[in-house]
Amino acid sequence: MSGTVLMMTLLGTAGVLFAVIRSRSSAPPRSGASSANEHQRLPENALRVLFAELSLDEEITLLCRLSPEMAEWMNLLAEDEVDEAMRRAEAVHAATPGSRAATCFLMRARFAMGDNQGAAQVAQAYFSAVGISEIESLLQTWHHLRAMNVFPDKETARQVVGVIVELNDFEKGGPAIPITLSAHLDGSSVLHRGRRRVPAGPDSRRPVHEATMRLVAAASDVDRPPPTARSTKPVEGLLMRFTLLSPGGPSVVELDIAQVKGNEDHPLFQLLLLTMDLVMKKQADLAA
């Protein structure tokens, strides 16, 4: 592929809207908005970030705002300095293979040139550098690769590295509060009550970390269907939805809380128990 075509392909990512980054719900709600936010489901764009479903172009667009290096390389492309942009990105990747900006830039360049194997090699260097310390980015990278028909081996494909749980909280008999719980193999977790993150910032408490690890381990042992597209339909009533996250793609398992609660013989009982334990630990600061 010519440098001009490569330049136009990569610059096309700049046309992606910044709605995703604006819709993230980590910012604290305005005064008086807390109650209303609790009863609203996370926006779909925020859910796509949570489920690691951004396209590579969308991620590059976000990185242009977050990474000075990515912005610099894209500016070089705009000035028709394709070779220099590639040289600088490759230098960063060689020195720091865990660089998210260099990984995404070079993967996109390889894909644009029809070199899917080259993109996979860039990704593999990234995986080796970050291990399980960047689960969200690992899942996002595999999402990019699968979109270009590059798939993991069977063992890697089935490794559960995270789980997202969706349910409703009917606290105090009021309107349902949508609960979205994200738990990862590295022990990180994020809980949203509606659009409100609880707690508001990173949660490094040891009991939370341990409860997260137990939940992901239990999710790994669940019999699950083949990977499929994530359901975008909100859960209703006492339905609880588990989306098991793996390099091979998401697998969805659902249960009815009324049928499973108190039934220790049910195959999903332990998953329900560990989910509620983690939710309670994440919310523990509210009672303080």
* One domain, residues 130 and 175: no
Q: How far apart, in Å, are the Cα atoms of 145 and each of 55, 59, 140?
A: 10, 13, 9
151, 183, 206 — which closes off a domain?
151
Structure confidence by residue, pLDDT tens digits, 184-229 = 999 999 999 999 999 998 899 999 999 999 999 999 999 999 999 8
Q: How many domains does the chain have?
A: 2
CA atoms of 235 and 231, how far apart (whole Å) = 9
**What pLDDT does residue 106 have?**
97
C-beta neighbour count of 39 within 10 angstroms: 15
106, 127, 151 — which closes off a domain?
151
Structure confidence by residue, pLDDT tens digits, 229-263 = 888 999 999 999 999 999 999 999 999 999 999 89
Q: Side by side, which strands form the sheet with 196-197? A: 196-197, 189-193, 177-184, 162-169, 239-245, 251-256
* One domain, residues 135 and 253: no
Determine the structural domain holding residue 243 and report its residue range.
Answer: 162-287
pTM: 0.85
* One domain, residues 64 and 147: yes
Domain presence at residue 258: yes
Nearest residue to 110 via CA among 76, 141, 79, 71: 141
**What pLDDT does residue 64 have?**
95
* One domain, residues 136 and 171: no
Domain presence at residue 38: no
pLDDT bucket at 119, cuts 50 / 70 / 90: very high
* One domain, residues 143 and 190: no
Structure confidence by residue, pLDDT tens digits, 146-156 = 999 999 999 99
CA atoms of 113 and 116, how far apart (whole Å) = 8
Amino acid at 288: A
Domain presence at residue 222: yes
Domain presence at residue 206: yes
Percent of all residues in the chain with a pLDDT value above 70, rounded to a whole number: 86
* One domain, residues 124 and 262: no
C-beta neighbour count of 27 within 10 angstroms: 10
Domain presence at residue 25: no
* One domain, residues 202 and 267: yes
Give mean pLDDT, residues 38-50: 92
CA atoms of 153 and 247, how far apart (whole Å) = 9
Domain presence at residue 23: no
Q: 279 is written with which tokens?
A: 């939710």
132, 151, 170 — which closes off a domain?
151
* One domain, residues 118 and 7: yes
**What pLDDT does residue 13 have?**
44
Strand, helix or coil for residue 167: strand
* One domain, residues 175 and 129: no
Nearest residue to 18 via CA among 62, 80, 56: 62
Q: 270 is written with which tokens?
A: 């332990």
**What pLDDT does residue 286 have?**
53
* One domain, residues 83 and 185: no
* One domain, residues 188 and 220: yes
Nearest residue to 78 via CA among 165, 146, 11: 11
C-beta neighbour count of 251 within 10 angstroms: 22
Domain presence at residue 41: no
User: What DSSP state is assigned to residue 261?
Assistant: T
Helices vs. strands in the chain: H and E counts, helices first? 14, 6
Percent of all residues in the chain with a pLDDT value above 90, rounded to a whole number: 79
* One domain, residues 138 and 175: no
Domain presence at residue 29: no
**What pLDDT does residue 257 have?**
95
User: What DSSP state is assigned to residue 41?
Assistant: P
Q: For all residues of the chain together, what is the average pLDDT?
A: 88
